[in-house]
A and B are shown apart, each in its own frame.
Chain A
Amino acid sequence: MPVRIEITQKPELLDAEGEALRKKAFDYFGIQTQSIRTINILTIDAQLNADEIERARTEIFTNPVSQVSSLKPLPLEFDWTIWIGYRPGVRDNAGATAIEAMQDLFGAALSVDAAAYTSKRYCLKGTNLNRRKVEKIASELLANDIIQQWKIFSIRDWNTEQGIGFILPKVSLDHQPTVTTIGIDSDETLRQLSNERNLALNPKDIPVIRDYFLDKAVQKQRSLEGLVDPTDVELEYISQARSDHCNHNTFQGLFHYQDYCTGENRKIDNLFKTCIKEPTLELQKRKNWVISVLWDNAGVGRFDDDHYYVITGETHNSPSNMEAYGGAITGIVGIYRDPMGTGKGSRLIMGGYGFCAGMRDYQGDLKPRLHPKRLLDGVIEGVRDGGNKSGVPTPFGQVLFHPGYMGKCLVFVSALGLMPSRVKGEPSEQKNILAGDLVIMAGGRVGKDGIHGVTASSEIFSEHTPAGHVQIGDPYTQKKMQDFLLEARDQALIRFITDNGGGGLSSSVGESALFSNGCEIDLDKVPLKYEGLDQWEIWVSESQERMTIAIDPENREPFFQLAAKHAVECTIIGRYTDTGKLHIKYNGTTCAFVDLDLLTKGFAQWEFDAVWKSPEDRGLIEPVLLPVRECNKHLLDMLSRPNICSKNWIARQYDHEVQGTSVIKPLIGKDRDIASDAAVIRPVLESNRGLAFAQSLLPFYSQIDAYHMTTCTIDEAVRRLIAVGGDPGHIGGVDNFCWPNIQFDPVDNPDGKFKAAQLVRSCEALRDMCLAYEIPLLSGKDSMYVDGHLPGRYGEVHKISALETLQFSTTSVISDVKSCVTLDAKMPGDLVYILGATANELGGSEYYDMFGYIGCNVPQVKPSQFLTLYRALFKAINQDLIASAHGIYRGGLGVHLAQVAMAGGLGLSINLESVPVEGGDELREDKLLYSESAGRFIVTVDSNQRRSFEKHFDRMPMACIGQVTSTDRFTVNGLNSTTIIDLSVPELKNAWHGPFGDMV
């Protein structure tokens, strides 16, 4: 008989969660409530006697000081009550730890089928409430029907004895695991089957797959294993491995590129090879700090003689778009497994994030599954819980709004790790597998979670996208596993390690088996969350928090002893071999027997038509716009724009100081409220060496030309590092592409050829910039289907595509963190300099966007010229010539001068007349203030250092444009020496904090 414990805060204590919900209901929907109180519910389904239940209730689940609880419904007053619980099969982290705690309390294991489920009840009081309003709060603020179920009771239908009743979201699958063979009598049969089973096989792959299984020699070998036609396990394996997500078919595709105006035609065979791999290998030869790139879960660079750093980044867009919290927490916890599975394993030291969503205050007719406001809330919370509970600082991140992300949001997550350069004398970045090594699955168990996640993220979001691929990450289980794996690594117990992400065991075992050239897996050994999974489901399930490890059989005992100490479940699921075969059995019967090299040959390259039209050919023009005249008001409004203004509430929720390594924090300045250019940590506590990290997103420029979007994005990410003291001689890069579908279709994707051309141009810009700035690409990923279909007002459906987006991440090693600088103006009397020339480059700018224009003059990066300046600034910072440095990014000089003033809490007196202009032309005041030309910085300098500073930048575009003042006035003099802006620093701050300043 299950029991249900209801627990709530004592009435005299503030119910912060209820209060926050009350405020949100009013802020988001105007729904007024008098009070909301929260009740936590734990439903225990286990064989416990009354005494045990009472002990569990009082000694574990109720805090005697702050809480009250009861096995009966708590008699809190309400007009309406909302109950919310998980759907069956959804990860209930707190339910799992409740079982652990009861076992500790009773000193004995509970039966295997014992379960505990957490849920919540909200008690709402309000005279104006009705079912419709309460339903809105439940469905649009609290619960998501993909993972949760809810019930609403008015006080009239409430039974004070029964309460919510007993709801046990237990998974019971009355299903006998079955291997199904698939007929391949024709391409059409296989195509149909691919559609029915959601395999997402590319039609061009189908003949190759059929040829393989129809091959006489193959058939003969298979018949010895009792197989004839392919099994579902085999086809699922091939489908996962061939998916765009795993195989990057788009980037490895053949592009027929045509320039529409010149008529020039060229073929680009494999963007990955020509624009990413070749430049990076070239740079690896020149840069001895590049340790390992292009093959492992993450790239590896040298931090110092004894340590390497590891970095990677990816996106988790599709799941987050459907269940923001679950998608985002799974994303950050998932990316953290990549450094854990790089080389022989690294310790996590830093995370980063980038969120792109529709406008937060969107009130139009389109109906996305989650309103951008709610979606962003969930994403922020997901990365918060995942990052914080992993014990990894998150000191850098960005948020960006654009209507194009209404179709699908972007959730970028990045992870950095650190490992010793050698493990018991062996290079830590290398790993190998020998035939005979044991295949071990460590961490969580396998359920129906995330099945077909990989193939779903390779498709455009539609109402048919299977919801089952949304999960909730479990950072607690993973943290235990990470502690265990680091100790196992240091004892040299790990031969090979990789994570289970997209494609589950199918990918992790399939890919690692290439190292020994074969494996033999017993699927029945894989520990399950519940019985009833088909073999193919076990094989491709994406249940989280799992790693696949190869160990020498001799290390079996110490490995498992260590796992027991850390309370981490590990299971031997098979053996690596050198037979060339992927051999999978279930209870001794073969259900897959495939040649591993099947995937390496014969498959047709994907092909794309790409047609480029210049901005002018597309009808883009510079707007005819006379300058603003109310410059004060205009600057304040610029500072209040969503893509400029303060988003401090996010950074404050993210632990950015755990591990004690923080050097440059996300929020800087006198009031610690201005976003830093970059983050710097000191990952080896005993050393003064630092690791700098920054990211950039500038998709707006893709509206003009993705080539320049890319060059500007990379330049900004580099400049951010230089601004804090990063070394231009050591810049590592990570590229994360998020692109709308580029496959042309006259009906569904009429501008596919243009988007394909944008991709080609972006990749070529990536190559050009990496070679010019000498940035090896340590890691990178792509997400190619950032489109969505949204219903509108009349039931019509609109396809919404995101801007072509590249997130670029950069790292640099700083030899002594004490040389670092921050952006805040430090002392009155200091001189303000601008480094770099300003040009008439407002195309795609925030200034134009404010008035609804795009324009044409997109900023141009001049790498060799810029690099000279960056090297000079690096030296100047190291010679202590600089008091503060700040890059000029989105919003231009005006916005970023304001940030320098706000951070210092000091006034600035600026003269625009002295600003160096590209080519020596004269530029209008508004253009000087809001052009987004790349390659520029604002620095402040002690006036006593004037001569040496100016000498240092001799012959570079540089000018003193004003002074830091002791007043709080922010003044800008225009070209006729008249004051065009005169505001106080508090006024600037008011505007800058205006939109989101109240949020915590």
Chain B
Amino acid sequence: MKSINALVLSGYGLNCDYETSYAFELAGARAQRVHINELISGSVSLDDYHIMAFGGGFGWGDDHGAGVLQAVRMKNKIGSKLLSFVENGKLIIGICNGFQCLVNMGLLPAINGDYTERVVAITGNDCATYRNDWVNLTVNEDSPCVFTRGIRQLEVPVRHGEGKFYTDKETLNQLMKNQQIVLQYAMPDAKPANGAFPFNPNGSIVDIAGICDPSGRIFGLMPHPEAYNHWTNHPDWTMWKEKAKRGQTHFAKNGLTPGVQVFQNAVNYLKGKYKK
């Protein structure tokens, strides 16, 4: 195995494929944008990849519920290929629209290892409109999620109209018990947002921003780590620059951003697994 290969889905209204690929490349993977129909036709084989990204966007215009129609198509056309991809121990990340698609296919949360059942919903924001804003996230360090290892807090932007995580009490209890809740919206001081807008931007129950499957190898989140691929993406970067100029902080102008570290965790995990 020469490289860690990342497949980033594109087509049908998806739109974060360029920067998601770029984040993977920064993280040390070889990334390729692949049209959904190339997977379906078989002209591109999932076997050649170690990680798949279901990226952000508006698949099928998000008509009939965000991520719903993409899930219908993928489940019906290549559902079994996706399941064997998962069984082979490979990784999947679903970001925003991709997260919505994963829960609609049932790949998340896969409680008890059932990767086909829809048991959580991501529905319209309580604020009733699309919202783009940076959020503070706390990471559950007890979660098995391989993408967030070593990360305790994360600041990245949300950009969605349908990001409210919802499920019934029983499923929620299971998610908590299995440590499948990975990311939660928080206040700037890392205390729970407790539903307070705009810190919890959408009204998600228990401030849930991201979950994983029981293995920790499938990760879905509403915020966009790939949108923090460069230090100048952060809203405070001009302030950091000014502080650094005066010797008050070190402005890490090089180094990987926390957003890219999410992808790097995945790549490192895969390197450990495939490059022995």
Q: Is the CB of B69 within 8 A of A476?
A: no
Known: A389-B61, A652-B132, A659-B19. 17 other contacts (CB 8 A): A16-B124, A60-B72, A63-B123, A65-B168, A97-B60, A97-B64, A101-B68, A389-B13, A475-B58, A476-B60, A565-B38, A653-B129, A658-B227, A660-B22, A660-B23, A660-B228, A662-B232
In chain B, positions 11-45 with a C-beta closer than 8 Å to chain A are 11-16, 18-19, 22-23, 35, 37-38, 41
In chain B, positions 65-91 with a C-beta closer than 8 Å to chain A are 65, 68-69, 72-73, 76-77
Let me know if B125 is at the binding interface, CB within 8 A: yes
User: B257 to nearest A CB, angstroms?
Assistant: 10
Q: Is the CB of B72 within 8 A of A97?
A: no
The chain A residue with its CB closest to the CB of B65 is A63
* Complex interface: chain B residues within 8 A of A668 (CB): 235
Taken together as a complex, chains A and B put the C-alpha atoms of A822 and B232 apart, in Å, by: 12
User: B165 to nearest A CB, angstroms?
Assistant: 10
* Complex interface: chain A residues within 8 A of B271 (CB): none
User: A616 to nearest B CB, angstroms?
Assistant: 46
* Complex interface: chain B residues within 8 A of A942 (CB): 245-246
User: A328 to nearest B CB, angstroms?
Assistant: 15
Let me know if A880 is at the binding interface, CB within 8 A: yes
Q: Is the CB of B235 within 8 A of A391?
A: no
Q: Is the CB of A16 within 8 A of B127?
A: yes
Q: Is the CB of A682 within 8 A of B232?
A: yes
Taken together as a complex, chains A and B put the C-alpha atoms of A384 and B233 apart, in Å, by: 21
Q: Is the CB of B159 within 8 A of A657?
A: yes
25 sample A-B contacts, Cβ–Cβ < 8 Å, listed by A number:
A19-B128, A20-B128, A59-B72, A63-B104, A65-B119, A65-B166, A66-B123, A98-B64, A388-B58, A389-B13, A390-B15, A476-B60, A480-B12, A483-B11, A567-B11, A652-B131, A653-B131, A655-B130, A657-B159, A662-B233, A672-B133, A824-B238, A824-B239, A883-B242, A884-B238
* Complex interface: chain B residues within 8 A of A93 (CB): 61, 63
Q: Is the CB of A60 within 8 A of B118?
A: no
In chain B, positions 111-141 with a C-beta closer than 8 Å to chain A are 118-121, 123-134
User: A459 to nearest B CB, angstroms?
Assistant: 33
Taken together as a complex, chains A and B put the C-alpha atoms of A658 and B15 apart, in Å, by: 8
The chain B residue with its CB closest to the CB of A118 is B63
User: B207 to nearest A CB, angstroms?
Assistant: 16
Q: Is the CB of B61 within 8 A of A475?
A: yes
Q: Is the CB of A565 within 8 A of B35?
A: yes
The chain A residue with its CB closest to the CB of B56 is A658
Query: Given A480-B12, A660-B18 in contact, is the A826-B69 Cβ separation under 8 Å?
Result: no
- Binary A-proximity of B209-253 (CB < 8 A = 1, otherwise 0): 000000000000000101111101101001101100110000001
Let me know if B203 is at the binding interface, CB within 8 A: yes
Let me know if B258 is at the binding interface, CB within 8 A: no
* Complex interface: chain A residues within 8 A of B233 (CB): 657, 660, 662-663
Q: Is the CB of A63 within 8 A of B159?
A: no
How many residues belonging to B are interface residues under a CB distance threshold of 8 Å? Answer: 70
* Complex interface: chain A residues within 8 A of B19 (CB): 659-661, 685
Let me know if A686 is at the binding interface, CB within 8 A: yes
Query: Which of A435-443, A750-758, A813-821 faces chain B?
Result: A813-821
* Complex interface: chain B residues within 8 A of A660 (CB): 16, 18-19, 22-23, 224, 226-230, 233
Taken together as a complex, chains A and B put the C-alpha atoms of A665 and B129 apart, in Å, by: 20
Taken together as a complex, chains A and B put the C-alpha atoms of A276 and B50 apart, in Å, by: 55
The chain B residue with its CB closest to the CB of A685 is B22
Q: Is the CB of A818 within 8 A of B64?
A: no
Let me know if B10 is at the binding interface, CB within 8 A: yes
Q: Is the CB of A566 within 8 A of B157?
A: no
Let me know if B57 is at the binding interface, CB within 8 A: yes
Let me know if A105 is at the binding interface, CB within 8 A: yes
Q: Is the CB of A682 within 8 A of B230?
A: yes
* Complex interface: chain B residues within 8 A of A654 (CB): 130, 132
Q: Is the CB of A820 within 8 A of B238?
A: yes
Taken together as a complex, chains A and B put the C-alpha atoms of A818 and B245 apart, in Å, by: 12
* Complex interface: chain B residues within 8 A of A567 (CB): 11-12, 37
Let me know if A17 is at the binding interface, CB within 8 A: yes
The chain B residue with its CB closest to the CB of A817 is B232
How many residues belonging to A are interface residues under a CB distance threshold of 8 Å? Answer: 71
Let me know if B173 is at the binding interface, CB within 8 A: no
In chain A, positions 631-666 with a C-beta closer than 8 Å to chain B are 652-663, 665
* Complex interface: chain B residues within 8 A of A60 (CB): 64, 68-69, 72
Q: Is the CB of A476 within 8 A of B58?
A: yes
The chain A residue with its CB closest to the CB of B168 is A65
* Complex interface: chain A residues within 8 A of B174 (CB): none
Contact for B69 among A42, A97, A658, A820, CB less than 8 A: A97
* Complex interface: chain B residues within 8 A of A818 (CB): 232, 241, 253
* Complex interface: chain B residues within 8 A of A822 (CB): 238
User: B275 to nearest A CB, angstroms?
Assistant: 25
User: A59 to nearest B CB, angstroms?
Assistant: 7
A-B pairs with the 3 shortest C-beta distances?
A391-B15, A660-B19, A476-B61
Let me know if A598 is at the binding interface, CB within 8 A: no
Let me know if A245 is at the binding interface, CB within 8 A: no
User: B96 to nearest A CB, angstroms?
Assistant: 10
Taken together as a complex, chains A and B put the C-alpha atoms of A217 and B101 apart, in Å, by: 65
Q: Is the CB of A657 within 8 A of B58?
A: no
Let me know if A969 is at the binding interface, CB within 8 A: no
* Complex interface: chain A residues within 8 A of B14 (CB): 391
Query: Given A16-B127, A101-B72, A652-B132 in contact, is the A659-B18 Cβ separation under 8 Å?
Result: yes
Let me know if A428 is at the binding interface, CB within 8 A: no
User: B7 to nearest A CB, angstroms?
Assistant: 16
Q: Is the CB of A13 within 8 A of B123?
A: yes
Q: Is the CB of B124 within 8 A of A17?
A: yes
* Complex interface: chain B residues within 8 A of A659 (CB): 15-16, 18-19
Q: Is the CB of B63 within 8 A of A97?
A: yes
The chain A residue with its CB closest to the CB of B167 is A65
* Complex interface: chain B residues within 8 A of A20 (CB): 128-129
In chain A, positions 664-678 with a C-beta closer than 8 Å to chain B are 665, 668, 672
Query: Given A476-B58, A660-B226 in contact, is the A101-B126 Cβ separation under 8 Å?
Result: no
Taken together as a complex, chains A and B put the C-alpha atoms of A668 and B69 apart, in Å, by: 37
Taken together as a complex, chains A and B put the C-alpha atoms of A60 and B70 apart, in Å, by: 10
Query: Given A65-B166, A660-B226 in contact, is the A17-B10 Cβ separation under 8 Å?
Result: no
The chain A residue with its CB closest to the CB of B238 is A822
The chain B residue with its CB closest to the CB of A649 is B129
Taken together as a complex, chains A and B put the C-alpha atoms of A118 and B64 apart, in Å, by: 10
- Binary B-proximity of A839-873 (CB < 8 A = 1, otherwise 0): 00000000000000000000000000000000000
Let me know if A797 is at the binding interface, CB within 8 A: no
Contact for B68 among A63, A656, A883, CB less than 8 A: A63
In chain A, positions 1-41 with a C-beta closer than 8 Å to chain B are 9, 13-14, 16-17, 19-20
Q: Is the CB of B245 within 8 A of A880?
A: yes
- Binary B-proximity of A378-391 (CB < 8 A = 1, otherwise 0): 00000010001111
* Complex interface: chain A residues within 8 A of B16 (CB): 391, 658-660
* Complex interface: chain B residues within 8 A of A65 (CB): 118-121, 166-168
* Complex interface: chain A residues within 8 A of B62 (CB): 389
User: A533 to nearest B CB, angstroms?
Assistant: 26
* Complex interface: chain B residues within 8 A of A64 (CB): 118
Contact for A63 among B23, B121, B230, CB less than 8 A: B121
Let me know if A479 is at the binding interface, CB within 8 A: yes
User: B159 to nearest A CB, angstroms?
Assistant: 5
Taken together as a complex, chains A and B put the C-alpha atoms of A567 and B13 apart, in Å, by: 11
Taken together as a complex, chains A and B put the C-alpha atoms of A665 and B229 apart, in Å, by: 15
User: A946 to nearest B CB, angstroms?
Assistant: 14
* Complex interface: chain A residues within 8 A of B60 (CB): 97, 100-101, 476
Query: Given A17-B128, A653-B132 in contact, is the A826-B239 Cβ separation under 8 Å?
Result: yes
Q: Is the CB of B130 within 8 A of A653?
A: yes
* Complex interface: chain A residues within 8 A of B72 (CB): 59-60, 101, 104-105
Q: Is the CB of B69 within 8 A of A100?
A: yes
In chain A, positions 478-511 with a C-beta closer than 8 Å to chain B are 479-480, 483
Q: Is the CB of B159 within 8 A of A658?
A: yes
Let me know if A165 is at the binding interface, CB within 8 A: no
* Complex interface: chain A residues within 8 A of B15 (CB): 390-391, 479, 658-659
